[in-house]
Amino acid sequence: MKLLKDKIALVTGGTRNVGKGIALALGEAGATVYVTGRSIKEKDVKHITDAGGKGIAIVCNHENDDEVRAVFELIEKNEGRLDILVNNAWGGYNRLRNRKAYSGFKWKAPFWKQSIDLWEEMNNVGVRSNYVASVHATQLMLKRQQGLIVNISFYASRKYYGNVIYGVAKAAVDKMTMDMSVELKKE
């Protein structure tokens, strides 16, 4: 039996790595899984459907609040609800993935030698987009008094990992998750 049959899930930034694995696991458990990505295509979610769930691709840049809102409006229109949100979108690796454009970038450079723009890259999508998506998801979930929000973090939130901004972003995700849970328990 599929444990998540008839459940509706959204995995933000689910086109590769951890997000892709989570989306696949949800599909294997029978869920309908909406997956966002900046350049996602239906072929990118085929493995979810092949695994026994239903994969649905939605193009979304999580730096754009209007695009994020549109994702939740589409899910509400198509499904009438959302059961699971996995906030996995992250924008902090642009400099690592595009070394040609950022030839002087060093992950482990001291914070005072890092570009100030790195703060925006890691916190805008890594933290802020989790907050924005959680606001929209909660509004859907509270209508049914049920749901699960998962925010992906990393142990850099608790231990130095070679980049101050990265650690701060991950710690912010942890604190945001904890505080959201306190407020949601009251509902």
Which residues are known catalytic residues? 166
**34 contacts 9 by C-beta, under 8 angstroms:** yes
Burial (CB count <10 Å: 0-12, 13-18, 19+), residue 117:
exposed
**121 contacts 69 by C-beta, under 8 angstroms:** no
**92 contacts 126 by C-beta, under 8 angstroms:** yes
Q: Which of 1, 3, 31 is nearest to 11 (CA)?
A: 31
Give the integer Cα–Cα distance in Å for 151 and 130. 7
**137 contacts 150 by C-beta, under 8 angstroms:** no
Question: What single-letter DSSP state applies at residue 61?
Answer: -
Up-side HSE of residue 6: CA atoms within 13 Å toward CB? 1
